[in-house]
Amino acid sequence: MRKLEIHDIIVASHNAGKVREINDLIAPYGFSAKSAAELNLEEPEETGTTFEENATIKALAAAKTTGLPALSDDSGLCVKALDDAPGVYTADWAEKEDGSGRDFLMAMEKVHKAIEAKETSDKGGYFVAVLCLAWPDGHVEYFRGETHGDIIWPPRGDAGFGYDPIFLPEGHDKTFGEMTAEEKHGWKPGQKDDGLSHRARAFALFARTCLSQDR
């Protein structure tokens, strides 16, 4: 495993919600991070069929363009009754038919209706986050986190982003959409457990593996 010694990195994402959450998690380590969107980097086409493949595409593109290490995230919601769909196509389920952007309320309803059509009592699902740290020389590291829970309806809460309002993590009575950022992550540097959110769990592994302990 290669340690990350440089403080300047690129967050290889154009998703404002993801950039915000990643910046919240790396801030205590003294990083100066700019997003791909801030730098007007071209958004690469995500042609992978796994979270790891898509994360690699984004991180390597940003690292090779900027000459700096880049941290990307590919994440999604997997619903057990739907054979783990939408999975890597989580964002695609939110695309409007006219191509004018994404509508996550529509996407959440699509998930709900798909589960209802299965006529199943299994409402289980889980969020996955895979972080990819890439260097300009092509070296990459992966860090995967998962959070399991249930898909609920109707949506609850307007915090977070994406599918957060319909995801109720195991052992909790609030959806991700009802939690503050601190509650959702449930992790900070030096903490022994890995937190709550899929992204926090992936980041905890990343921090233990690649970050110097004196940061």
Task: Give the residue numbers marked as catalytic.
Answer: 74
Q: Return the closest-CA partner of residue 213 out of 72, 28, 23, 69.
A: 28
Q: Using CA atoms, how far apart are residues 147 and 177, in angstroms rounded to an integer? A: 14
SS3 category, 21: helix
Side-chain-side CA neighbours of 127 within 13 Å: the count stands at: 29
Amino acid of residue 7: H
